[in-house]
Amino acid sequence: MFNISPVTSVWIAWFATAANLVIGKAAVPYVTSALFLLLACSAAGLMFLPYLLKNNNWKMLADKNVWPQCLAMGTFGTALPMTVFMIALNYTTPVNGAILNQFEIIYSLIMSYLILKERPTLRQLGGSALIILGVGMLLWQAGLSLQLKGDLMIIGCLWMFQLSHIFAKKLPAQMEPQLIAAARALFAIPALAVLVAYLAVFQGPLMFESNATLWSMLFLCAAVNYFLGNTYWYRAIRNMDLGKATAIILSYPVMTFILSVCLGQDTISIYKVLGMILAVGGAYTVTGIVKQQGEQK
């Protein structure tokens, strides 16, 4: 993978996260959510295979002090929350889902302080407030018409992502970001396999309507989100403050909205444009903190 700065890495992850919502929404009419994620993580595992075989990188994942953390990371960072998220997309839109996901910043600040002892600065809080204000304008333009069931499902699962990030941060220092990303995909498979088996046995036949759209979305989910997005996300949080990295990536509803407009799923209005400006401005405020810290070091 390319050797780039932590700030650039988090922006790549930002785009992958934004695209993943649109990908998930396009797939949900054709497949059971847990099955889709199981297939996507398996495909991502194949993409990581050359790297894992190179220099026997896979051996670190089998270490008794590493694999339990990887399993927790895969379970809480991919298997459980993303299954809930995809199910919720049956009731709400990618843009609405992205806006609701801003609640993660609350979990981030609290857990970073309590567990990682990372104190948020006033400027960080100010930038985060701009992000929330920006996406709030998008929510206001939507007329507060979010579907309650999907909303509560998304809000209720967001803490799992932060728990996953904390497990990733605690992994051995010599563990490369690409190996961490591979672990998140591969170690999500056990929990997803259990979910798929449970659904097949207790809720009847699984849905899988084979068509070009579904196969395309499977490839994009594996390549864009789990292969590229996660690799660069872990590169970022290994080299910058977790709260700041989260504050940057949580502005991704702007790109989700742009992609939705380009695909004919939404229209542009002055409220939405202003919301984008505020959200991106807040993200750049936090990015400026990271650059200043890098210059000081």
70 pLDDT band, cuts 50/70/90, is very high
Q: Where are the domains of the chain?
A: 6-291
**Sign of the C-alpha dihedral computed for residues 190, 195, 198 and 200 taken in this order:** negative
DSSP-assigned letter for residue 205: S
2 pLDDT band, cuts 50/70/90, is low
Percent of the chain residues topping a pLDDT of 70: 85
Mean pLDDT across 193-209: 92
Per residue in 81-131, pLDDT (tens digit) is 999 999 988 887 787 777 777 777 667 767 777 776 777 777 777 877 877
Taking 60 as the threshold, does the pLDDT of residue 290 lie above it? no
d(CA 5, CA 10): 9
CB pairs under 8 A, 24+ apart, for 108-113?
Answer: 108/162, 108/242, 108/243, 108/246, 108/247, 109/243, 111/159, 111/162, 111/163, 111/166, 112/241, 112/242, 112/243, 112/246
User: Residue 249 has what pLDDT?
Assistant: 78
Which position has the higher pLDDT, 89 or 55? 89
Mean pLDDT across 49-53: 92
Kindly give, in sequence order, each residue whose CB lies less than 8 Å from that of residue 116, ignoring residues fewer than 6 positions away: 166, 169, 242
The mean pLDDT of the chain is 82
User: Residue 145 has what pLDDT?
Assistant: 57
Kindly give, in sequence order, each residue whose CB lies less than 8 Å from that of residue 87, ignoring residues fewer than 6 positions away: 28, 33, 153
